[in-house]
Homo-oligomer: A and B are copies of this chain.
Amino acid sequence: MPCVGASAFVGSAVCACARLRCPPPTAYEKALLSVAELSDGVRLACQIALPLAGDADEVEIPAESWSAGQRTHLTGQEAPLHRSSALAWTDLNAQPPLPDDPRADWERLGPGVAALLPPSPAALAQLPGLLRQHGWRVRLIHQGGRAMTCLPPDQAPLGLAVDLGTTSLAAYLVNLETGQTLAAQGAANPQAPYGADVIARIAASMQQARLGARLQAMLSQRLQDLAVALCAAAGAAPGEVVAATIVGNTAMHHLWLGLPVAHLGTAPYVPVISRALTVPAAALGLHLAPGAEVYHPPSVAGFVGGDHLAMLLAVDILAQPSPVLALDIGTNTEITLRVGERLLCCSAASGPAFEGAEITHGMQASAGAIERVTWAGHGLVWADHRRLTATGVVWGLACWTCWGTLLEQGHLTPTGAFMPGTLGHPKAAFEVVPAAHSSHGRAITLSRRDISAVQLAKGAIRAGIKLLLEAANLQEHDLASVILAGAFGNYLTVEHAVAIGLLPPLPLVRFRQVGNAAGMGAKRLLLSNAERSAVEALSTRLEYLELTTHPDFADRFSQAILLASDPWD
């Protein structure tokens, strides 16, 4: 029975390991995995000796496992996607040249084409070859009265949708004819070494002349690599990709487009431009089909970008029962509250702790990262064991908090301090995985500083939620639903996030985890003009609440950092 498991990218019953076809479960796996998981064939890679050469028949590693790389969250709750309305295409039969008909190739495509603005020279350059190789037939891709590029007749045009995160990128290859996602892949944002969060990256750009161009080029190369890999996975070529949509927060949007970010780094955080932008892919260093353009949705403010709008679009925020809260938790957490016709939003500087940075043994969600720590009897059980992920931090904190272990037993206070004399590393750190059980022979620990990082992050988010509700004269318990988007929002167990006070104490049924909704939104924007109009209309309706200068922020934040489900008590 193949060990397909739950998708490596979906939900909470997840194994971070490469997916394997493998022998029966070990006792260790039986202890750690549920009956349902085991019957689904879920296995833990750490329990399986990798095959030696010649043993390949025994353990088969499906090809898709190799593409996991870094575990960026790639799936969202996907509504059906339909054939593109953003682009149109027409199969044309041209008249072959005759001695008395020396018209140009473009002009012989027929009178309908004469009304179109011609494509770029690079796209035109393909036309003579295509016409002559395909019996004077060609598929012309056009959009709003402008020709974009040409493909062999009957060939399905492809599109690239990218969620450009501060820490990681998620890219999708989409068949624009069917709306089908052909391949998905994540990668680290190569700009990360120049600043883990947007503020650090903006500061770096301001300090170094010409760093902006370098950061743009690095990102462009990484996206090109992703496009090549996605196409290879789908048996296609980058030259078949005729359109792209890239969503990101405002700072990532600016760095990607080569726009100066200096004024995003100081109050009142003024972007260069907010409205939607369509830019030739080639001008950004992306080598897709010649003439391909990249659509960027608008942004709302310096710290609420097109990725958040794409998320609001994907979750259909206007159709949800009101009041509804939608959060995209990441290095920057954007929060929107819809109350009737009103849309209020803010941005909380949650920092990269949730993505593994600023945590002693933190790492991003990759195969091998600790995915869960559960309390069984009087000991901890951990799944996989290399380094503690941010997700693991929350899980651990949540376990201790809600199951009355560390807190109940007095090892940890609601302020995040360890009580002296307990659990191995008093005051300094708590041992999650003892050295004897660690793959690298060193203990994996959780320090006071680690807990602080998570407290600051969750405090900023909770304060943002509180202030949005106050601006609408609402209480937390008034919320009809809370939509959690983003990789972290999908990985976390809501009850634990509620327990440590990251999320308001609402009935669990009111929470909905929707996965990478920004990526989903990017795909919708890639496919549909109506969705582009919708997101552009939405951008003008959002009222932005600046937290950094809000008179009540400091007060709410100081309460919200407490490890308690209701810090306002």
- Chain A residues with CB under 8 Å of chain B are 97-107, 114, 118, 120-122, 124-125, 127-129, 257-260, 262-263, 267-275, 277, 279-280, 282-284, 299, 301-302, 544, 546, 549
Whether A102 lies near B269 (C-beta < 8 A) is yes
Cα-based distance from A128 to B212 in the complex (angstroms) = 15
Q: Are B283 and A120 in contact (CB under 8 A)?
A: yes
Which of B122, B124, B546 contacts A273 (CB under 8 A)?
B124
Tell me the complex Cα distance, A106–B260, Å.
13
The 6 A-B residue pairs with the shortest CB-CB distance, nearest first, are: A106-B273, A102-B268, A104-B271, A121-B257, A104-B274, A97-B270
Whether A272 pairs with B128 at a CB distance below 8 angstroms is: yes
| Chain B residue with the shortest CB-CB distance to A261 | B128
Please determine whether A267 and B105 come into contact, CB atoms closer than 8 angstroms. Answer: no
In the assembled complex, the Cα of A277 lies from the Cα of B282 at a distance in Å of 18
Given the complex, which residues of B lie within 8 Å of A262, measured CB to CB?
128
List residues of chain B with CB within 8 A of the CB of A258.
Answer: 121-122, 125
Question: 17 new A-B pairs (CB below 8 Å) besides A118-B273, A118-B277, A120-B279?
Answer: A99-B267, A99-B549, A100-B268, A102-B301, A104-B270, A104-B271, A104-B273, A106-B272, A106-B275, A120-B283, A121-B257, A121-B279, A122-B258, A125-B258, A127-B273, A280-B283, A283-B283
Selected from B104, B122, B129, B274, the residue in CB contact (under 8 A) with A106 is: B274
The reply to whether A107 and B273 contact each other, CB–CB distance below 8 Å, is: yes
> Could you tell me the distance between the alpha carbons of A275 and B102 in the complex, rounded to whole angstroms?
14
Q: Could you write out 10 A-B pairs with CB less than 8 Å apart?
A: A99-B267, A99-B549, A102-B301, A104-B270, A104-B274, A106-B272, A106-B273, A120-B279, A121-B257, A128-B260
Q: Is the CB of A272 within 8 A of B102?
A: no
B contact residues around A301 at 8 Å (CB): 102
Supposing A258-B122, A262-B128 touch, asked if A102 and B270 sit within 8 A by C-beta, the answer is: yes
* Cβ-closest chain B residue relative to A299: B104
Q: A259–B107 contact, CB under 8 A? A: no
Q: Give the distance to chain B from A142, nearest Cβ to Cβ, in Å.
A: 15
Distance in Å from the Cβ of A291 to the closest Cβ of chain B? 11
CB distance from A210 to the nearest CB of B (A): 13
Closest chain B residue, CB of each to CB of A101: B268
Check if B272 sits within 8 Å of A546, measured CB to CB: no
Given contacts A104-B272, A272-B105, contact A260 B125 (CB under 8 A): yes
Inter-subunit contact A105/B283 (CB<8 Å)? no
Residues of B within 8 A of A270 (CB): 97, 102-105, 128
A271 to chain B, nearest CB (A): 4
A252 CB to closest chain B CB, in angstroms?
A: 14
Which chain B positions have C-beta within 8 A of A268? 97-102
> A284 CA to B258 CA in the complex, in Å?
19
Interface centre among A99, A263, A279, A299 (most CB of B within 10 A): A263
- Write out the residue numbers on chain B whose beta carbons fall within 8 Å of the beta carbon of A99: 267-268, 546, 549
Chain B hits for A302, CB < 8 A: 102
Give A97 to B106 CA distance when docked, in angstroms: 48
Q: Is the CB of A260 within 8 A of B104?
A: no
**Bound CA span A121–B158, Å:** 25
Question: In the complex, what residues of B have CB within 8 A of residue A101's CB?
Answer: 268
Our pick among B107, B277, B282, B283 for the contact of A274 (Cβ within 8 Å) is B107
- If A258-B121, A258-B122 touch, whether A272 touches B544 (CB-CB below 8 Å) is no
Q: How far is the CA of A366 from the CA of B351 in the complex (A)?
A: 67
Which residue of A118, A260, A270 has the most chain B CB atoms within 10 A of its CB atom? A270
Option from B114, B129, B299 in Cβ contact (under 8 Å) with A260: B129
**A275: which of B107, B127, B257 is its contact (CB, 8 Å)?**
B107
Chain B hits for A259, CB < 8 A = 121, 124-125
A430 to B127, CA, bound (A): 52
Once the chains bind, are B105 and A273 in contact (CB under 8 Å)?
yes
Name the residue of chain B whose CB is nearest to the CB of A284: B121
A122 and B258 CA atoms in complex are apart in Å by 7
Cβ A263 vs Cβ B544 within 8 A: no
CB distance from A342 to the nearest CB of B (A): 18
